[in-house]
Amino acid sequence: MGCLFLILLGVSPRLAVVALWLLTDWVERAFGDSWLLPVAGLILLPWTTALYVVGYVAGDAAAPWGILGAIIGLFLDVAVHAGSATMTRRRSSS
């Protein structure tokens, strides 16, 4: 499952989270019985959600590696959103 997850994460973090949700119980273990928070994370912050789930399952979300993974995911999400906004601005100014 690990190699498949890494391939899917490279292609699309949303696809990776959906695969984890459908094929494993990792998302349920990380978020409990709530479905609202994983769906919101899937839509708004897919990298953060994916790395949080992996960090939670690998040990503990409060462990240093879990926190570092979530922070890296947050930076990736911000970078993707900022890059998208920049490209939109460039297209509209041309």
Give the pLDDT band of residue 94 (cuts 50, 70, 90): low
The tokens describing 62, both together, are 């409060």
Angle of helix 36-44 relative to helix 13-23, nearest 10 degrees, comes to: 160
Residue 15 buriedness (CB in 10 A; 0-12 / 13-18 / 19+): middle
pLDDT over 90 at 6, yes or no? no
Specify the pLDDT at position 62. Answer: 67
Q: Report the percent of the chain where pLDDT is more than 90.
A: 37
Cα gap 21→93, rounded to integer Å: 40
Specify the pLDDT at position 60. Answer: 67
The tokens describing 30, both together, are 């990380």
Specify the pLDDT at position 14. Answer: 92
Domain boundaries, the chain: 2-93
Give the pLDDT band of residue 1 (cuts 50, 70, 90): low
DSSP of 73-90: HHHHHHHHHHHHHHHHHH
Q: What is the pLDDT of residues 23-69, one digit of tens each?
A: 999 999 989 888 999 999 999 999 999 999 888 888 766 677 778 88
Q: For 6-41, what is the HEC assignment?
A: HHHHHHCHHHHHHHHHHHCCHHHHHHCCCCHHHHHH
pLDDT over 70 at 5, yes or no? yes
